Amino acid sequence: MQKEMAEAQAELEVTLFEGTAGGGVVKVTVTGAKMVTNVELAEDVVDPEDIEMLQDLILTATNEAIKKVEEQTAKTMGKYTSGMNIPGLM
């Protein structure tokens, strides 16, 4: 079971998760290890007069992607941990 759990964790760490904001004008991709690998911005979202909005959109997309990682990790690893609280796993 430990081997299966380690394999599942390793697979999760390389899986890509995408978060979006502003109807898709900002896309952030993160790995299951919560490392940001890509940020895409639509040209029309870049407004030098409103940098704060762009920052908010990037934060929202990043947080959405990380939430997806956490949900998938809980779902995948939950079958191995059956309610145990293992620090750093979820």
Q: What is the pLDDT of residues 6-46, one digit of tens each?
A: 898 999 999 999 999 999 999 999 999 999 999 999 999 99
Number of domains making up the chain: 1
Residue 87 placed within a domain: no
pLDDT of residue 84: 62
Residue 89 placed within a domain: no
pTM of the model: 0.82
**CATH code, domain carrying 57:** 3.30.1310.10
Residue 90 placed within a domain: no
- In percent, the amount of the chain with pLDDT more than 70 equals 91
Residue 41 placed within a domain: yes
Residue 88 placed within a domain: no
User: What is the span of the domain harbouring residue 64?
Assistant: 2-80
Residue with tokens 């940001």: 36
CB 40, CB 26: distance < 8 Å: yes
Residue 85 placed within a domain: no
Half-sphere exposure of 63 (CA within 13 A, CB side): 7
